[in-house]
Amino acid sequence: MKTNLFFLKFILMTFLMWNVISCESKKSDNPLLDTQWNGLAKIPQETEIILRFSNDKIDVLLGNKVIETMNYTLSNDEINIEENSGGTPCDAGTKGKYKYEVIGENLVMTLISDECTARIKSLQGIVYKKIDVKK
């Protein structure tokens, strides 16, 4: 009986440790996951916005209001984005590709290609500063 209980505890602890390690490795694969960045986007005048990254979505906030949402994926040092909804003149499904760099507490995106010219003006070359998010 003691052996079975020990074995059960061992399996449970092994599973929990594997789960923790697995979650940490997924998070390290996406340096933007659960981060927020603010910067002055040109929409069309310079306006302070926040980019809020979740697992596969970017919310663009003006003040506390979400004004646009986009899906995204990362590949090497590139971010692929696709318009979901929002206030820009981009149609839903409009795609863009940018090189992204996280340099210290800064996020910079450089145009590779984008089907929406309005989005280019609001993303390219802007230095976004990381916002500490309290959980």
The reply to whether 17 and 41 lie within a common domain is no
The reply to whether 44 and 104 lie within a common domain is yes
The reply to whether 47 and 20 lie within a common domain is no
The reply to whether 25 and 47 lie within a common domain is no
Radius of gyration of the chain (CA): 19
Please compute the mean of the pLDDT values over residues 34-58 and round it to a whole number.
92
Tell me: pLDDT of 25 over 50: no
The reply to whether 24 and 40 lie within a common domain is no
Q: Which of 130, 127, 135, 134 is nearest to 53 (CA)?
A: 130
The reply to whether 114 and 66 lie within a common domain is yes
Q: Tell me 124's DSSP state.
A: B
End-to-end distance of the chain based on CA atoms, in angstroms? 42
Predicted TM-score of the model (pTM): 0.75
The reply to whether 60 and 125 lie within a common domain is yes
What residues make up the domain containing 68?
A: 36-131
Q: Which CATH number fits the domain that encloses residue 107?
A: 2.40.128
Alpha helices in the chain (DSSP H): 2-29, 117-123
CA distance 33 to 14: 26
**How many separate domains does the chain show?**
2
The reply to whether 121 and 101 lie within a common domain is yes
The reply to whether 25 and 42 lie within a common domain is no
Looking at per-residue pLDDT, the higher value among 25 and 132 belongs to 132
The reply to whether 57 and 80 lie within a common domain is yes
Which of the listed ranges 37-46, 56-65, 88-97, 125-134 does the model predict with the highest average pLDDT?
Answer: 56-65
Tell me: pLDDT of 44 over 90: no
The reply to whether 18 and 80 lie within a common domain is no
Q: pLDDT tier at 24 (50, 70, 90 boundaries)?
A: very low
The reply to whether 52 and 8 lie within a common domain is no
Q: Report whether 72 contacts 95 (CB < 8 A).
A: no
Looking at per-residue pLDDT, the higher value among 42 and 114 belongs to 114
Looking at per-residue pLDDT, the higher value among 133 and 81 belongs to 81
Please compute the mean of the pLDDT values over residues 13-20 and round it to a whole number.
55
